[in-house]
């Protein structure tokens, strides 16, 4: 039977040692059945194969030493009476303090015995000591177990208890466990069978054996994940998309003619791939990746034009953005660029008032709109589409899988789906999580862009940064100042009333306070505006509009400007408390500048009492302008959940596997899964 089917036959209570008390403790480790127990994998192994001289005690957390017992001594009184065993090897002398097990150890240790001891040693009261140690028992030796598993524990449960439990569970049912990796792969890779891999991963005889067992279990996890993705992909290829008329790409050509610039090669390549998808008759599911500022929006407009042309009358494309600010910006761009081509553009958010909303909904349901732009309101229950042909999702990582699915269901037939990602997703991660999507990557940036200069500055050097910004403002350029908080009280309230939290928040600059300071003291000669999430939508719109038109010189904000905002005349991005932001967020923020022909600057300011680690992280921003490089670094620091965003990380509940570390295995698993799902090897 399969491992996950074991609990149907074997109860946890049948495992020797797993009484009700122990079972209650196991629950705290998320172990509620026998399969959970067997997949509670060791974090590491205690190596009892190599003898370390006592004098080298500092080289490892625990050492395995071989020594002779010099003498035994008792100290303390009554129930506190404790045995101390003095030992010696050729390098040093040490004492073992036998707290809590003196009587027992007194019985089994005799003077001039040769013992093997595994433990943590330290200097105390002028002598080398250990109070957390293990004697290597004869039983371990007899089992040939030189490597002992070290498990994640919970209070009340010891390594030894868990070891015994898992050993008993293995004895009870390991033999019954079937392979889940195809037999051919097991043979090709010289993998152990699952039943052996389970024993080896817990109680390996050698490092080599442990390694091979882990490798096969990692492969199995990734293979199963990829197989599910590939099966979905194979099924999708059988779905029919709404039929497409042959397109001469007339609308796309007309847009190209209207643009003051040429599409980059990368943009053209992506447009070509999308056109091919639309012509194929199979619903597109494509992730459009491109670094911030690479011009994804325009590619999505091109996709909309193609759908409008290919679907004849009544076909609608919908473009959804995560914030109203961004949706409005897209709608305004679409109006400027597409309406002159005869495209009927509409804008829909939750804030549109009732009368015009009713008209809009009527127009959508009768198919009188070609492109509708909006927030998730595009897919509320009362919105009906006559013929939804293409759904474009900007900043897709902001939406959960659920939301995406509810959107696709709005189409009578399955609409094409184009997802855009602002955070470049490292390839390894993209393969693991989105293995069944097609991916287009826009390579390269629009011509004539200068790389953004990034500077790090300590808070106490703020005046220098402000002067650098003033020079830019003087040239007629604009600047963003970004802060992690809206107001100080916000953070304090969130953290509760603890003193340290409020002190911490008191140290942190907020955008409301900074706005006061910047407008009154630092740049009194320039118009400054404040923008954050608690300002109402209409006001936000006006603020953004004034900034876009250049009427305000400085925009003080929280990370609301992180996503998508596009004002090419802005050349300075100042981020205070940069240490508070993730690398991907910093990269997004930085991407708000460098969008025009002028040189742009990003100033990352950090607290004076910084840690080296903090500074090293920010240095990555200084060294690289490449979103993919930064995302890889971010992935190493923060793990996949943070990068993929809402909902998508749940997908990544892997046990032993780590797609970043295990790329080589992932690649093989992916190819094998493809072959299994499509019944032919990948191209
Ligand atoms: P992102 O990929 O980050 O969403 P946008 O779509 O917002 O980027 O585009 C960034 C800016 O670049 C916009 O001002 C856009 O008009 C401009 N742009 C897009 N494509 C080109 C191009 N081929 N040449 C010059 N500028 C371009
Ligand atoms: Mg964008």
**Which tokens is 522 given?**
């630092």
What structural domains and CATH numbers belong to the chain? 3-43+164-224 (no CATH), 50-145 (2.40.50.140), 250-442 (3.40.50.300), 453-624 (3.40.50.300)
CA distances for 596 relative to 160, 175, 280, 448, 474, angstroms: 64, 66, 37, 8, 17
Number of Cα atoms under 13 Å in the Cβ half of residue 502? 6
Q: Which residues pair with 574 in a beta bridge?
A: 481, 603
Give the Å distance between the CA of 321 and the centre of ligand 2: 9
CA distance 677 to 226: 10
Residue identifier of the C-alpha nearest atom 16 of ligand 1: 295
Interval 559-591: pLDDT, tens:
877 666 789 999 999 999 999 888 888 998 999
**Closest ligand relative to 298 C-alpha:** 1
Number of Cα atoms under 13 Å in the Cβ half of residue 4? 2
**Which tokens is 663 given?**
């790329």
Residue whose CB lies within 8 A of the most ligand 1 atoms, among 297, 301, 590, for a mutation test: 297
> Which residues are in the CB-under-5-Å shell of ion ligand 2?
564
Pocket lining: 266 vs ligand 1, CB cutoff 6 Å: no
Residue identifier of the C-alpha nearest atom 4 of ligand 1: 296
CA distance 510 to 508: 6
Q: Specify the range with the lowest mean pLDDT, choosing from 256-270, 386-400, 469-483.
A: 386-400
Interval 100-122: pLDDT, tens:
888 888 998 999 999 989 889 99
CA distance 423 to 587: 8
Expressed in angstroms, the distance from the first to the final Cα of the chain is 34
**Closest ligand relative to 288 C-alpha:** 1
CA nearest to 372, candidates 542, 386, 276: 386
Residue identifier of the C-alpha nearest atom 22 of ligand 1: 446
Interval 198-242: pLDDT, tens:
999 999 988 899 999 999 999 999 898 888 888 888 887 777 776
Q: Which residues pair with 529 in a beta bridge?
A: 555
Q: What is the mean pLDDT of residues 639-648?
A: 53
CA distance 216 to 657: 10
Q: Which residues pair with 557 in a beta bridge?
A: 482, 531
Give the residue carrying structure tokens 């492109």: 371
Q: What percent of the chain has pLDDT over 90?
A: 51
**Residue 473, SS3?**
helix
Interval 129-153: pLDDT, tens:
999 888 875 455 445 567 889 898 8
Residue identifier of the C-alpha nearest atom 19 of ligand 1: 295
Q: What is the mean pLDDT of residues 2-26?
A: 91
Within 190-261, where are the H helices?
Answer: 194-202, 207-236, 250-258
């Amino acid at each position: 039977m399969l491992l996950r089917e074991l609990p149907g036959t074997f109860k946890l209570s049948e495992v020797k040692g797993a009484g009700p008390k122990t079972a209650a403790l196991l629950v705290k480790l998320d172990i509620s059945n026998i399969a959970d127990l067997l997949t509670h994998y060791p974090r590491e192994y205690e190596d009892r194969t190599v003898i370390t001289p006592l004098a080298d005690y500092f080289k490892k957390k625990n050492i395995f030493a071989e020594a002779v017992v010099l003498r035994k001594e008792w100290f303390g009184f009554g129930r506190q009476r404790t045995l101390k065993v003095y030992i010696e090897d050729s390098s040093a002398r040490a004492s073992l303090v036998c707290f809590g097990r003196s009587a027992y150890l007194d019985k089994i240790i005799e003077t001039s015995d040769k013992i093997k001891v595994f433990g943590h040693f330290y200097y105390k009261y002028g002598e080398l000591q250990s109070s957390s140690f293990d004697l290597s028992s004869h039983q371990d030796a007899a089992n040939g177990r030189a490597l002992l598993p070290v498990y994640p524990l919970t209070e009340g449960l010891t390594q030894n208890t868990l070891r015994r439990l898992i050993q008993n569970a293995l004895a009870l049912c390991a033999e019954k466990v079937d392979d889940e990796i195809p037999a051919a792969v097991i043979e090709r890779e010289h993998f152990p069978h699952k039943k052996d891999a389970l024993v080896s991963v817990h109680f390996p005889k050698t490092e080599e054996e442990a390694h091979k067992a882990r490798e096969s279990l990692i492969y199995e996890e990734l293979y199963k994940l990829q197989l599910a993705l590939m099966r979905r992909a194979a099924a999708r290829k059988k779905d029919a998309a709404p039929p497409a008329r042959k397109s001469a790409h007339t609308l796309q050509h007309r847009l190209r003619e209207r643009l003051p610039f040429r599409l980059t090669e990368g943009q053209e390549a992506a447009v070509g791939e999308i056109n091919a998808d639309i012509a194929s008759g199979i619903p597109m599911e494509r992730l459009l990746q491109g670094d911030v500022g690479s011009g994804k929006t325009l590619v999505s407009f091109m996709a909309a034009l193609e759908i409008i042309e290919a679907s004849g009358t009544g076909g609608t494309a919908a473009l959804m953005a995560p914030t109203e600010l961004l949706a409005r910006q897209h709608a305004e761009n679409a109006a400027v660029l597409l309406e002159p081509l005869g495209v009927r553009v509409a804008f829909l958010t939750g804030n549109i008032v009732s009368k015009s909303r009713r008209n809009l909904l009527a127009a959508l349901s009768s198919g009188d709109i070609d492109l509708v732009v909006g927030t998730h309101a595009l897919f509320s229950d009362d919105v009906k589409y006559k013929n939804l042909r293409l759904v474009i999702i900007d900043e897709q990582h902001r939406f959960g899988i659920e939301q995406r699915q509810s959107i696709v269901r709005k189409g009578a037939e399955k609409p094409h789906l184009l997802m855009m990602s602002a955070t470049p997703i490292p390839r390894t991660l993209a393969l693991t999580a989105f293995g069944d999507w097609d991916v287009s990557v826009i390579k390269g940036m629009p011509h004539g862009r200068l790389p953004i200069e990034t500077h790090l500055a300590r808070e106490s050097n703020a005046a220098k940064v402000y002067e650098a910004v003033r020079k830019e403002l003087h040239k007629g350029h604009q600047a963003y100042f970004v802060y992690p908080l809206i107001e100080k009280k916000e953070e304090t309230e969130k953290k509760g009333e603890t003193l340290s939290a409020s002190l911490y928040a008191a140290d942190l600059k907020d955008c409301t306070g900074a706005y006061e300071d910047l407008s009154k003291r630092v740049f009194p000669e320039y118009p400054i505006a404040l923008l954050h999430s608690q300002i109402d939508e209409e006001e936000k719109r006006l603020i953004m509009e004034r900034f876009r038109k250049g009427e305000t010189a400085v925009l003080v904000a929280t990370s609301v400007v992180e996503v998508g905002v596009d004002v090419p005349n802005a050349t300075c991005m100042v981020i205070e408390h940069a240490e508070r932001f993730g690398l991907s967020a910093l990269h997004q923020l930085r991407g708000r500048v460098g969008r025009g022909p002028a040189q742009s600057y990003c100033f990352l300011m950090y607290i004076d009492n910084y840690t080296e680690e903090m500074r090293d992280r920010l240095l990555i921003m200084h060294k690289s302008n490449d979103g993919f490089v930064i995302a890889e670094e971010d992935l190493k620091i923060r793990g996949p959940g943070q990068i993929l965003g809402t909902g998508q990380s749940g997908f990544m509940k892997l046990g032993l596997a780590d797609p970043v570390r295990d790329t080589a295995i992932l690649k093989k698993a992916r190819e094998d899964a493809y072959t299994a799902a499509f019944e032919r090897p990948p191209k």
